[in-house]
Amino acid sequence: MFGFVRLAVVGFLVLSVVYFIVRVYLRSVHREELEKDWEQAGRPGERHDYVEKGLREYEGSLQRKLILLVYVVPAILVLALIYVTNFM
């Protein structure tokens, strides 16, 4: 039982680091796309305001929420592996 708790804690910490890295990376990619869009749109208004508005919209998007699968998919795989190993 202690081994499972240790696996869960270490797994959660590792997945948290992966989640943070993926989140920062995808946010920076989205920021670059917004900056390119601002250039191509003929520079409407202030660049900072345009990018910040786009990032606020991104925070509520489905893509942003799908990053949470970083936690869900490995947990399901580990639980399935444990179940198959012990009960099949």
Place of tokens 């305001």: 49
pLDDT of 63 reads 86
Q: How far, in Å, CA of 69 to CA of 84, rounded?
A: 22
Helix-helix angle 69-87:2-40, to 10 degrees: 150
State the Cα–Cα distance between residues 43 and 37, nearest whole angstrom.
9
Work out how many domains the chain is built from and give that number: 1
Residue range(s) defining the domain that contains residue 23? 2-87
Q: What is the pLDDT of residue 36?
A: 93
88 residues of the chain, pLDDT tens digit each:
788 899 889 999 999 999 999 999 999 999 999 999 998 878 888 999 999 999 999 988 898 889 889 999 999 999 899 899 999 8
| pLDDT score recorded for residue 85 | 93
For the CA atoms of 20, 22, 24, 27, the dihedral, rounded to the nearest 10 degrees, stands at -140
